[in-house]
Amino acid sequence: MPSSPLSCTVRRTESTTDLLAELHAADPDFAPYLLTSWSLELTAQEHIVLPQLAVLLDEPLALRKPRTGHAPSRRLTWHCAIRSTSSVALTDDDWFELTREVLDATGIEPDDDPAACRWAALRNTADGLDIVATVIRQDGYWARLHNDQLFARFACEDFARDHGLTSPR
């Protein structure tokens, strides 16, 4: 079976701050940047301070107990790493479109959901994208992430097929 031109992995971690620091140092030859996020105001900023981004992403976690009476648990940071092995280079517009498709397919930010999870899409390697999100929605409830890894992969496969991406042999 041929390999996919877009590899996709999903994992959960405990610290948004630690994850962002790890991703920021991923490729020393590439200047990382914020591609897009849940907030248009945040996306429009030229320089993002990672610890401040982590605090903004985690705000719904701090609000969970007052809103629902339940304290946050562990592993609430969601990370989807997408890497391209295609011979065709993807533009920022392509990565943006793929981000929207993955967010919708996984339940992180379904289309037209104003209370969805907070997320940020970061470019930290020339051939990849990292989407970081909290799994607590802005209304304090858990996101419905059943089979999120599978749906993220399906979104990547659909995107690759729709854009004629192929894997190098």
Tell me the residue range of the domain where 124 lies: 6-162
Using alpha carbons only, give the angle 42, 11, 62 rounded to the nearest 5 degrees: 50
Q: Does residue 17 belong to any structural domain of this protein?
A: yes
Q: Give the per-residue pLDDT at 111.
A: 83
| Count of structural domains within the chain | 1
Return the higher-pLDDT residue of 21 and 46: 21
How far apart, in whole angstroms, are the C-alpha atoms of residue 121 and residue 100?
10
Residues 16-32 pLDDT 10s: 999 999 888 877 777 88
Q: Does residue 167 belong to any structural domain of this protein?
A: no
Q: Give the per-residue pLDDT at 169.
A: 54
Residues 74-91 pLDDT 10s: 778 999 999 998 888 899
Q: Does residue 148 belong to any structural domain of this protein?
A: yes
Residues 90-136 pLDDT 10s: 999 999 999 999 999 999 998 888 899 999 999 988 899 999 999 99
Grade residue 43 by pLDDT with cuts at 50, 70 and 90. Answer: confident
Stretch 46-74: mean pLDDT, rounded?
80
Q: Does residue 1 belong to any structural domain of this protein?
A: no
Grade residue 1 by pLDDT with cuts at 50, 70 and 90. Answer: very low
Q: Does residue 169 belong to any structural domain of this protein?
A: no
Q: Does residue 113 belong to any structural domain of this protein?
A: yes
How far apart, in whole angstroms, are the C-alpha atoms of residue 118 and residue 136?
8
How far apart, in whole angstroms, are the C-alpha atoms of residue 112 and residue 130?
22
Q: CA distances (Å), 69 to each of 54, 77, 107, 118, 133, in order? A: 23, 20, 23, 21, 22
Q: Give the per-residue pLDDT at 74.
A: 73
Grade residue 148 by pLDDT with cuts at 50, 70 and 90. Answer: very high
Q: Does residue 155 belong to any structural domain of this protein?
A: yes
Q: Does residue 83 belong to any structural domain of this protein?
A: yes
In terms of Cβ atoms closer than 10 Å to its own Cβ (0-12, 13-18, 19+), residue 107 is buried
CATH of the domain at 88: 3.30.930
CA max distance for the chain: 54
pLDDT higher than threshold 80 for residue 44? no
